Amino acid sequence: MRLFPAAVLAALVLAQDAAAAERPRCGVPDYLLFGDNQLKRVSSAVVKQKRLRISVVGTGSSALAGPDGPPSAYPARLEAVLTQRLPGVMVSVVTLLRTRLTAEDFAKGMDKMVADEQPDLVIWQTGTIDAIRRVDPDTFKAALEEGVERLHKGNADVILMNMQYSPRTESMFAVTPYADVMRVVAQHYESPLFDRLGIMRHWSETGAFDLYAAGRDNVLAQRVHDCIARAIAALVINAGRLQAGQ
């Protein structure tokens, strides 16, 4: 009988460990995630109208394939996380994904998108296709500027989101010049940059995820997307100066 409390304790510790293992360990250091640029439109929408309409505009890496893909990709997860962290606020996230389009292709469609969706915040995920096709970085930069200007004119805040960190294809196409351009454009328009590249590299280096893994591992992809959604939510709350729960 004397063993009993010890066993209970051990079971509790194990259960806690299991819970910790369930929750992905994907913290992001502040310097990788937060900057000085604010999301003013988001602040006023949340505070005054108690709503937050987000559009995710991007290419294939904003989606996951398969029947359980859409609900576990980061846009849907973002909606869930923000709804939970912003009680009383009506959060909606719509995705407008087009595979294989460059930033230039997207920039042209921004006016229509803003008119149709009237988003408070647009998360523009881009850069991968431009890097693969080796679009002239000047062209890429001009397209980003045009797109961001159109979004601002349509009264939407913008978060630019760069490429995924993809260690296996790293030697096959160079993403850094395009990531650099995105950082410059984001800074110029005082918009936050969601540095997916740096954040995922951080996860890879700290061992949070094995991004070298091959195989049809949907679990890994879903966990990564969940963590991306949590990080974006933290960025939105920080840059929008919002009061939020955990």
Partner 1 sequence: MHSPVVTTSTGRDLRLDLFRGLALWLIFLDHIPSNVVSWITIRNYGFSDAAEMFIFISGYTAAFVYGRAMHERGFVVSGARILKRAWQIYVAHIFLFAIYMAEISYVATSFENPLYAEEMNILDFLKQPDQTIIQALLLKFKPANMDVLPLYIVLLILFPPILWLLQRAPTLALLGSAAVYVLAWRFNFNLPAYPEGVWYFNPFAWQLLFVFGAWCALGGAERLGPFLRWRLTTAVALAYIAFAAVIALTWYLPFLGRFVHLPVWLDDLIYPIDKTNLDVLRFAHFLALAAVTVRFLPRTSPLLTSWALYPAILCGQYSLEIFCLGIFLAFAGHFVMVEVSGAIWMQVLVSALGILIMIGTAALIMWYKTVEGRGSTTRPKSANADLAGGEA
Residues in touch with partner 1 (CB under 8 A): 29, 31-32, 59-61, 64-66, 99-100, 128-129, 132-139, 141, 164, 166-174, 177, 180-181, 184, 187-188, 198, 201, 204, 211-218, 220-221, 224
Q: Provide the minimum distance between the beta carbon of 224 and partner 1 in the complex, in angstroms, as a whole number.
A: 6
Q: Provide the minimum distance between the beta carbon of 191 and partner 1 in the complex, in angstroms, as a whole number.
A: 15
Residue (83 or 204) nearer to partner 1, CB:
204
Burial class (CB in 10 A: 0-12, 13-18, 19+), 126: buried
- Distance in angstroms (rounded) separating the CA atoms of residues 101 and 184: 21
Residue (114 or 185) nearer to partner 1, CB:
185
Specify whether the backbone of 243 is left (phi greater than 0), alpha (psi in -120 to 50) or beta: beta
Residue (16 or 29) nearer to partner 1, CB:
29
Neighbouring CB atoms inside 10 A of 103's CB total 28
Q: Provide the minimum distance between the beta carbon of 79 and partner 1 in the complex, in angstroms, as a whole number.
A: 20
Q: How far is CA 198 from CA 145, 150, 204, in A?
A: 22, 27, 10
State the sign of the Cα–Cα–Cα–Cα dihedral 95, 121, 126, 167.
negative
Residue (52 or 197) nearer to partner 1, CB:
197
Q: Provide the minimum distance between the beta carbon of 194 and partner 1 in the complex, in angstroms, as a whole number.
A: 13
Residue (152 or 202) nearer to partner 1, CB:
202
- Kindly calculate the radius of gyration of the chain based on its CA atoms and give it in whole angstroms: 19
Contact 39, 157 (CB under 8 A): yes
Q: Provide the minimum distance between the beta carbon of 170 and partner 1 in the complex, in angstroms, as a whole number.
A: 3
Pairing of strands 51-58, 90-97: parallel
Q: Provide the minimum distance between the beta carbon of 166 and partner 1 in the complex, in angstroms, as a whole number.
A: 5
Residue (114 or 164) nearer to partner 1, CB:
164
Token pair of 50, please?
């108690």
